[in-house]
């Protein structure tokens, strides 16, 4: 508008000026034109200033009204200049960006348009705020969920840790008595642990525990007060372990707890009152109580216990003496515990008797021994022994001799010992016979495939199976002689196997140092053996530089193979062992084989070098079928300049 007005004004003035110029003279026209042009410029400047002032005032008014509207909207949202997520202290004031408005031509924008634009901006702000709040809420929920999962995981780990800890302590409680037994620190309570293991079948029968198994209550009664407390506390732990494992031996430990608890309580009462009777029952009532319990089984005792408990629970109706029946109930629990332990022992004795009968029958079937003939031989030996004792008694009738006391467990009856040895030898030899037949069949199949007849003949001679036949006689002495023949045949069969390449025989025995402690009890027997030495060339760096295949170095000992026979060992549970000892020559040492009765120690002198214990290099240490195999090679030394 202003520019159009100025253009029209300028065109009118120019037309009037041109007409005046044509009328006036040249001198007057120049001066008048200058004054008019200056007036024109002054007028234009004044109009432009007034227009700018008007537009500026109009914008200020609109922005002032917008500031008021903005404050209202900010109050609705909850933002202030001091509290807003943008950190703007002048949030309520409008920013006038003049250059930006000039560029976009928004200087003359109306107030209505600005309000609409401001509404859109505020709506967008509210939308962003709601989205931000949702994100924060979701983030808080995620953190809460993570914390909950972490807590659950920690609780599970804590429970698992507690379970592992309980399992560890349970294992320690189980192993503690076994460790004490192994380290020969056995407590009286450990004997009951061993008895429980015997009843479970984990270990074999032990004669030294026979008396405790027969009467465990008497064993607990003879102990001191502190030992009885230890049995009571340890039995409670074992009872808890049996409950956790859901074992069938819970009543075993419960019975020991009942007996030990009764003894501990009675000892404590005796300390307070030395004249106090056991269980607090007077002597005049003992016969009646004995008749009440006499001849009752475990089921009868259970029924009686239930009746007494019922009487104690409803005592007001029965009008009974509570003190009297509580004492009887304590006595009943102890008698019931003794009955349970007695039942355990009786069942074990039946199983033990059945096993021994089955072993005797198996011996008769395998060897062909008639039990009547054995009995006749045993009776004959017994009568001869009796005559011999009578003769000795007549000779020493007027002598007074006090023999040294001995432990009966260290000695075995001659007939029982002979029978046990026969049984053991038969089982070993029959097992060896079966294995030898299988091995012979394999070798015979191998012979058929080989082409060279000389090797076939050689292998046939070397591996010809001896006649492992037991003499068909009825006397026990003849059968023992037959077993000796079988043992010798077994040794000859193993010895007849051909030598491998670079092997030689080695049979230099070192004399025995001293007689073993059990030499007087058993007749010493020297074990049979066949040993071999492995020879070979050691192609180390030195020998490679100084020797070749045509001129080889001297052979050296590469290793040993020891095969020692122990077919008649008395204790089959303990395998023979070997030890290394020093000798006068530092280049050699002594290897000693120790097996136990009835075999004496066997020693050989070998090279003192480091052994190679790897299976890949041929190390073997096995005791099977009554033969100890010890094969080893030496480690190869490294040559260094």
Please name the residues in contact with 500: beta carbons below 8 A apart, sequence gap of 6 or more.
532, 534
pLDDT score, position 639: 55
Q: So what's the pLDDT on residue 147? A: 92
Identify whether the C-beta of residue 546 lies closer than 8 Å to the C-beta of residue 561.
Answer: no
At a CB cut-off of 8 Å and minimum separation 6, what does 532 contact? 499, 500, 503, 504, 505, 506, 560, 561
User: Is residue 28 scored above 60 in pLDDT?
Assistant: no
Mean pLDDT of 37-41: 57
CA 442 from chain center: how many Å?
42
Among all chains, which residue has been given the structure tokens 């939308």? 127
Cα–Cα distance, 115 to 94 (Å, whole number): 13
User: Over 80: is that where the pLDDT of 433 sits?
Assistant: no
Strands (E) across 258-353 are located at none
As given in the structure block, the two tokens for residue 381 are 């030996």
Q: How far is CA 226 from CA 183, 190, 230, in A?
A: 22, 15, 6
Q: What are the strands of the beta sheet with 602-607, ordered from one edge?
A: 509-510, 602-607, 588-594, 577-582
Please state which of the ranges 43-57, 125-139, 616-630 shows the lowest mean pLDDT: 43-57
Q: What are phi and psi of 504, to 5 degrees?
A: -135, 160
**Predicted pLDDT of residue 255:** 87
Higher pLDDT, 331 or 256: 256
List, as one string, the DSSP characters of 445-512. HHHHH---HHHHHHHHHHTPPP-------S-HHHHHHHHHHHHHHHHHHHHTSPPPTTEEE---EEPP
Q: What is the pLDDT of residues 391-418, one digit of tens each?
A: 444 443 434 444 444 444 444 444 455 5
- Per-residue pLDDT tens digits for 92-133: 776 666 676 666 666 666 667 766 776 787 788 788 888 988
- Whole-angstrom distance, CA of residue 516 vs CA of residue 570: 15
Q: Would you tell me how many other CB atoms lie within 10 Å of the CB of residue 583?
A: 14
Distance, CA of 486 to CA of 467 (rounded, Å)? 8
Tell me the C-alpha distance between 193 and 188, whole Å.
9
Contacts of 219 (CB under 8 A, 6+ apart): 188, 191, 211, 212
Confidence grade of residue 388 (pLDDT, cut at 50, 70, 90): very low
CB 511 within 8 Å of CB 585: no
Task: Output the pLDDT for position 351.
Answer: 80
Which range has the top average pLDDT, 7-16, 195-204, 287-296, 529-538? 529-538
The whole-angstrom separation of Cα 463 and Cα 447 is 11
Q: With H, G, I as helix, E, B as strand and everything else as coil, classify residue 93.
A: coil
Task: Taking the CA atoms of 475, 476, 481 and 486 in sequence, report the sign of the dihedral they define.
Answer: positive
Peptide bond into 464 cis (omega under 30): no
Q: What is the pLDDT of residue 256?
A: 87
Confidence class of residue 498 from pLDDT cuts 50, 70 and 90?
low
Would you tell me how many other CB atoms lie within 10 Å of the CB of residue 401? Answer: 5
pLDDT at 243 over 70: yes
The set of residues, in sequence order, having a beta carbon less than 8 Å from that of 242 and lying 6+ positions away, is 249, 250, 252, 253
Backbone angles phi, psi at 623, to 5 degrees: -120, 105
Please report which confidence band the pLDDT of residue 81 belongs to, taking 50, 70 and 90 as the band edges. Answer: confident
Cα 444 to its chain centre, rounded Å, is 48
Residues 435-477: pLDDT tens digits?
666 677 777 767 766 755 554 444 444 444 444 444 444 444 4
């Amino acid at each position: 508008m202003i520019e159009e007005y100025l253009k029209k004004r300028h065109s009118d003035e120019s037309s009037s000026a041109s007409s005046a110029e044509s009328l006036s003279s040249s001198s007057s026209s120049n001066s008048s034109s200058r004054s008019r042009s200056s007036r024109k410029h002054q007028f234009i400047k004044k109009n432009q200033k007034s227009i700018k002032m008007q537009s500026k005032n109009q914008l200020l008014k609109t922005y002032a009204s917008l500031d008021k509207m903005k404050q209202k909207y900010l109050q609705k949202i909850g933002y202030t200049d001091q509290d807003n997520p943008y950190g703007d202290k002048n949030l309520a004031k409008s920013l006038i960006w003049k250059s930006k408005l000039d560029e976009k031509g928004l200087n003359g924008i109306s107030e209505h348009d600005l309000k609409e634009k401001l509404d859109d901006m505020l709506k967008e702000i509210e939308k962003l705020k709601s989205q931000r709040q949702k994100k924060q809420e979701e983030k808080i929920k995620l953190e809460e969920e993570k914390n909950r999962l972490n807590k659950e995981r920690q609780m599970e780990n804590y429970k698992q840790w507690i379970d592992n800890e309980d399992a560890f302590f349970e294992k320690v409680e189980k192993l503690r008595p076994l460790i004490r037994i192994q380290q020969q620190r056995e407590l009286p309570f450990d004997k009951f642990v061993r008895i429980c293991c015997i009843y479970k079948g984990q270990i074999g029968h032990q004669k030294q525990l026979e008396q405790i198994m027969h009467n465990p209550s008497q064993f607990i009664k003879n102990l001191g007060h502190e030992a009885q407390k230890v049995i009571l506390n340890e039995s409670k732990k074992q009872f808890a372990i049996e409950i956790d494992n859901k074992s069938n031996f819970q009543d075993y430990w419960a019975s020991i707890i009942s007996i030990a608890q009764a003894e501990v309580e009675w000892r404590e009462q005796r300390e307070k009152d030395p004249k106090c009777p056991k269980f607090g029952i007077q002597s005049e009532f003992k016969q009646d109580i004995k008749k009440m319990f006499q001849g009752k089984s475990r089921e009868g005792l259970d029924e009686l216990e239930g009746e007494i408990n019922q009487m104690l629970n409803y005592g007001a109706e029965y009008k009974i003496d509570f003190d009297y029946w509580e004492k009887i109930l304590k006595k009943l629990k102890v008698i019931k515990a003794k009955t349970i332990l007695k039942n355990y022992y009786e069942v074990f004795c039946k199983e033990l008797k059945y096993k021994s009968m089955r072993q005797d029958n198996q011996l008769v079937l395998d060897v062909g021994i008639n039990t009547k003939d054995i009995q006749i031989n045993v009776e004959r030996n017994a009568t001869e022994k009796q005559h011999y004792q009578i003769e000795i008694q007549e000779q020493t009738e007027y002598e007074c001799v006090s023999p040294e006391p001995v432990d009966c467990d260290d000695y075995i009856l001659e007939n029982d010992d002979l029978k046990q040895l026969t049984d053991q030898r038969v089982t070993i030899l029959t097992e060896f016979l079966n294995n030898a037949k299988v091995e012979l069949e394999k070798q015979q199949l191998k012979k058929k495939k080989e082409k060279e007849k000389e090797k076939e003949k050689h292998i046939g001679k070397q591996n010809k199976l001896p006649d492992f036949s037991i003499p068909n006689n009825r006397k026990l002495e003849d059968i023992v002689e037959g077993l000796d023949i079988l043992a010798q045949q077994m040794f000859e069969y193993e010895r007849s196997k051909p030598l491998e390449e670079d092997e030689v025989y080695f049979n230099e025995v070192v004399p025995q140092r001293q007689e073993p402690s059990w030499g007087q009890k058993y007749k010493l027997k020297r074990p049979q053996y066949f040993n071999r030495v492995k020879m070979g060339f050691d192609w180390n760096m030195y020998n490679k530089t100084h020797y070749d295949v045509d001129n080889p170095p001297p052979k050296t000992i590469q290793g040993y193979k020891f095969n020692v026979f122990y077919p008649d060992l008395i204790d089959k549970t303990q395998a023979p062992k070997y030890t290394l000892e020093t000798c006068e020559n530092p280049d050699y040492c002594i290897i000693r084989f120790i097996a136990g009765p009835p075999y004496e120690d066997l020693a050989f002198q070998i090279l003192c070098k480091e052994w190679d214990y790897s299976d890949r290099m041929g190390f073997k240490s096995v005791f099977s079928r009554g033969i100890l195999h010890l094969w080893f090679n030496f480690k190869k030394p490294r040559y260094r300049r």
